[in-house]
Structure 1
Amino acid sequence: MADMVNPKDNQLLPAEISKHIEVLLHASESPLTANTLKKQLSLTEQELVLALTALKQRLTDGVLCLCGTASGYRLQIADHYSPFIQRVFPQRQERLSQALLETLSVIAYKQPVTRSDVEYIRGVTLSSNILRQLFDKGWIMENGYKETLGRPALLYTTAQFLDAFGLSELAELPPLPDLSPFNATV
């Protein structure tokens, strides 16, 4: 136990704190926020950052990785194991339709948007089934109304959307390609 404690101030070292964080993340059913980790482990912001860095470093050679999402931190299987998991557990693969992905992309990049905004950008009528699937997954929500005729609902993405795609904020979405050459020819 002596090597786990800093003899100068009798506190746990970042490497040992990282093990406590790992235990909490394994035991938790959902991501844990930085505030929750600081509170449960009585840590300062600096101690938490050092411990998370130590945990991330320790996990680099393993099968798990530390992932920061909009809802907090979680442990997940490293991305390079995805093909193996999909081969062994093919029923876990969920196919998302092109229309669903296009709709989700429009909402994510252009939010807040209305249903008619999505239809205009995609150039096709939006199926109620697609919106229902996105609502059922918890990836989008209605929040407010556009101040226009009919007061259509405004659509936004949710923290569950960010979590599902391993993002902590919308700024992490890949940049949109430059489509100006295509727009000039139309």
Structure 2
Amino acid sequence: MSTTITDLNYLKIVLETALLTAQEPLTVAQLKKLFTEDIKSALLTELLEDIRLSWRGRGIELVKLASGWRFRARAEFTPYLARLNPEKPPRYSRAVMETLAIIAYKQPVTRGDIEAIRGVSVATSVMQTLLERGWIEVIGHKDVPGRPWLYATTRKFLDDLGFVSLKDLPPLADLGTLVVPESTPQEVGRNPADETSPLDDEADNLLPVAE
């Protein structure tokens, strides 16, 4: 079937189909590949906003995340969906959450920077947990003797929290409840020796970093 860029309703159907069947968020640049015509990014963004409005009030919503656009279930319906998959997500230890918070609000940081703030050493298992979860990544080396790795949060971290950029990060005290539901019993990356390192003294200094 032949279509032109003036057939906006058809273009929106194509966009909806791609987004509903995609496993990951799609950027505007990726969505442009759906069409042979040279469709401007501004027009696609306008169509995406129209689609978002047309789904308002339904159980599924179109959202813009750090990695692109995607459909997802509205938060108020997740308790119903959880009954189809009763397996609980893992609960992360305080050491993991404190380390994640430091990286999120002070990035880029080295492991030594994290240890200086927490006041205790950071276990390798803690860093590995965050790396495997896809929430942090190595972005380079600090220009000091030894050239330690610099860590920063990823787009997946923002996607999982439902944010577009680091500017959307909540107050530090709320970060843990967003990442880990209180009802999840299993703890990952837990080391009893790490549980005695409160972050409270640093909370006022950990502010979101502008992108």
Fold shared per TM-score above 0.5: yes
Moved more, 144-153 or 60-69: 144-153
What is the CA RMSD across the aligned residues, in angstroms? 2.6
Aligned partners of 2:125, 2:139: CA distance in 1, in Å? 20
Look up the match of 1:57.
53
Q: Does residue 20 of the first structure (1) align with residue 9 of the second (2)?
A: no
Once residues 88 and 50 of structure 2 are traced to their aligned partners in structure 1, the CA distance between those partners, rounded to angstroms, is: 32
Structure 2: which amino acid aligns with 1:166? G
Contact 1:19–1:55 (Cα < 8 Å) also in 2: no
**TM-score by structure 2 length?**
0.72
Task: Output the CA distance in 1 between the equivalents of 2:72 and 2:123.
Answer: 33
The answer for the alignment partner of 1:105 in structure 2 is 101
Correspondent of 2:79 among 67, 83, 87: 83
Partner of 2:137: 141
Q: d(CA) in 2 for partners of 1:46 and 1:58?
A: 19
Match of 1:157? 153
Q: Which has the higher contact order (CA 8 A, sep 6+)?
A: 2
| Distance in structure 1 (CA, Å) of the matches to 2:142 and 2:27 | 33
Contact 1:107 1:155 in 2 (8 A): yes
- 1: CA distance between counterparts of 2:76 and 2:92? 21
Max Rg structure = 1
- For 1:77 and 1:140, the matched residues in 2 are separated by 25
Aligned CA distance change for structure 1 residues 55 and 94 (closer, same or farther; 3 Å): farther
Amino acid across the alignment from 2:31: L
Deviation of 1:10 after TM superposition, in Å, equals: 7.9
Residues 28-77 of structure 1, C-alpha deviation per residue, up to 9 Å, x if partnerless? 22211111213323422332122111111111121111121222111111
Unaligned 5+ segments in structure 2 are: 174-199, 205-211
Q: Which one has the bigger helix percentage?
A: 1
Conservation of the 8 A alpha-carbon contact between 2:135 and 2:154: yes
State the aligned residue count: 173
Shift of 1:174: 1.7
Equivalent position of 1:48 in the other structure: 44
SS at match of 1:30: coil
Instruction: Indicate the percent of aligned positions where both proteins have the same amino acid.
Output: 35
